[in-house]
Amino acid sequence: MWSSSLLSISIIFITTISTVNSLTIYRDESCPRIRKPFHTLSEDERMLYVNGFQTLRKNGKLQIISDTHAANVAVHKGSSFFFFHAYMIWEAETAIRELGGDYSCFGMPYWDYTIDSGKEHDPTIFHLNVGENGDPRKGFCMDDELWGNVENYWSTDADTCGNGETRLPQPYCCLKRSVS
C-alpha cells in the first residue's frame, strides 16, 4: 500500500512537472530523435553522451531523474515497467537536449547487447567510454578517468552508497558497476 501511494505521488509529480513544462516551454523538435546503438557511434558522439550525462549530474537534473526512478521501485514488478523506463529515458534525453548547443539534437544511444552475446564478463561496450567493471576491492567503485571521480558524486541513495562513503551533507558516493 505504501509503495502504491508513493507511486501515485510520483506520477502526480511527474504529470505536474510535465504539464507545467508543456505550458511554459515549447520544444522545437525540428531535430528528430534518432537513437543509435552505442557501438556504432563515433568517438565524438560517444563523448557527447558522456559529457551530457555528466553535465546532468553536475546541474542536479540527473538526481531528480534518479530520485523519481528510486521512488517507483514497484514499477519493476508490474506491467508498466517498459513504459516507465522508456519515459525515464525520454526525460534524460530531453534534459540533455535542453543543454543547447551541440546537445540540441542529441539522441540517446542504446546498448545493443546482442553484439556482446558470449562476452558477458567483458562486454564490448565497456571499452567504449562507459567505463569498465568496478574494482571489487573498492566496493565495485568504477576507477577510470571519465567515471571514477568521487568528488563528482553519483548517488545519494543509501542503497548505493557503500561503507566509508558519505551521503550528507555532501555526498561522495562512487559510481559502481559489477557485472559477472
109-148 confidence digits (pLDDT tens): 999 989 989 988 888 888 888 888 888 888 888 877 777 7
pTM, entire model: 0.74
Q: Give 102-113 pLDDT, tens digit per residue.
A: 999 999 999 998
Q: 38 and 46 in contact (C-beta within 8 Å)?
A: yes
Of 86, 99, 92, 103, nearest in space to 31 by CA: 103
Quick check: 9 pLDDT over 80? no
pLDDT in tens, 14-41: 554 454 444 455 566 788 999 999 999 9
> What does the block give as the cell for 120?
558477458
